A = this chain, B = another copy of it.
Amino acid sequence: MIKVAVMGHGVVGSGVVEVLSQHVESIAKRAKEEISIKYILDIRDFPDSPFADRFTKNFEDIVNDDEVKVVAEVMGGVDPAYDFTKRCLLKGKSVVTSNKELVATKGAELLEIARENNANYLFEASVGGGIPIIRPISQCLAANDVIEIAGILNGTTNFILTKMIRENMSFSDALSMAQKLGYAEKDPTADVEGHDACRKICILASLAYGKHVYPQYVHASGISNIALEDVAYAASWGGVIKLIGQVKKLDDGTLDITVEPMLIEKNSQLANVDDVFNGILVRGDSTGDVVFYGKGAGKLPTASAVVADIIDCVKHLKARKYLYWTDGDGSIVKPYEQTVYPIYIRVGSTLDKQQVFDKVTSLFRNARSIVRTNAPENEFAFVTDDMTVSEQMNALAALENDGIKVLSKIRISDL
């Protein structure tokens, strides 16, 4: 019988308790030990919980109890999760988590503390909710060089974009609907501005390339500027707009890693990942493209990933899983201005069509017009070939100087 503690009794935490108590037998069979919850940490009271006797408000109960071998940290946020995790690991307790913010900002340090104390720090649930992705990348793809990872990593923004694409709903209406349905938080910034997806692609990049990639070095932009006009142009171009977190290794050894809206072709495997679903493509030199798809969030999917990690820790109490990366700094990330990709631009101008066309084609590499039905007379859109971001910026500034207003600029994906 192995005793575990669950820190946090919010959505995921209560799900962990539920999954652990509803699959006692099959979990015991897989873990080769019965697993029992000794403590649930929360500052709130849950007098009606069937586990009311396990609740504590005092972290010291958990960290000082040698009987507790595995701790699930499902509190979220860095403070106090960071301190609690560190102290558990220092005591040789294994810690599993769904806390992407903590893994993305402190992963290298916590993995090193885990290693020094012969404990495991696992975080399958931090990316893709219930979709197995951390373990496949670290194990199954061990015999591959990972060329690229690209994913729809945030369900909230994918829901909003799907509503915009399928039902021609405006961004703000779709956001309100997502909030009403519980898919978006009251303050949706972390989702909508790409911070959540950025943490996740940082975790995947760190895992795949062995060095911690910190979110502060990664260009991340969100979807709040995407207009229905852009959605229409994307369709006429033959694709859809998705918020993609992407990392690929460049020839010079640096990483092209970003989170931003991208135009992706209709026949890409990620184009049909809709609603709150996540889809993650891993391109290996031997396997080719492997795609993982499922619900990227939600109580039970995420909880079941946390519980799978608990089981894995119980099975490896005396061994260590290979899940590790060393510390890194900004030098591993290609400066965003130097990254190279084609773009879509939408502009407005009182100049006539030919004048706009001449300006744009003189400034942007191989710019081609695209059209949409019912476009106003003074609106124009183009797609280009590869350009560095700094070339793009210069060209866009030159357009503005010539009286052509830049309404949108979106990366075109090579997926």
Contacts and interface: CB of A to CB of B under 8 A. Distances in A.
Interface of A: 15, 19-20, 23, 26-27, 30-32, 124, 129-132, 135-136, 138-145, 269, 272, 284-295, 298, 300-301, 303-305, 307-308, 311-312, 315, 319, 322
Contacts of A289: 293-295
B27 A304 contact: no
B312 A139 contact: yes
Contact of A136 (B135, B288, B312): B135
Nearest to A285: B300
A132 B140 contact: yes
Nearest to A321: B315
Contacts of A308: 139-143
B27 A142 contact: yes
Given A135-B136, A136-B132, A272-B272, A142 B288 contact: no
Closest 9 CB pairs of A and B: A132-B140, A130-B287, A143-B307, A286-B304, A290-B294, A291-B293, A286-B300, A132-B136, A143-B304
Contact of A287 (B138, B139, B301, B311): B301
A43 to B, nearest CB: 26
Contact of A291 (B136, B138, B292, B319): B292
A304 B287 contact: yes
A319 B322 contact: no
Given A132-B290, A135-B136, 14 more contacts: A15-B286, A23-B143, A27-B143, A131-B290, A132-B136, A139-B308, A139-B312, A142-B311, A287-B294, A288-B294, A288-B298, A291-B291, A293-B293, A315-B322
A263 to B, nearest CB: 19
A139 B26 CA distance: 12
Given A140-B305, A311-B142, A293 B269 contact: yes
A401 to B, nearest CB: 45
B124 A132 contact: no
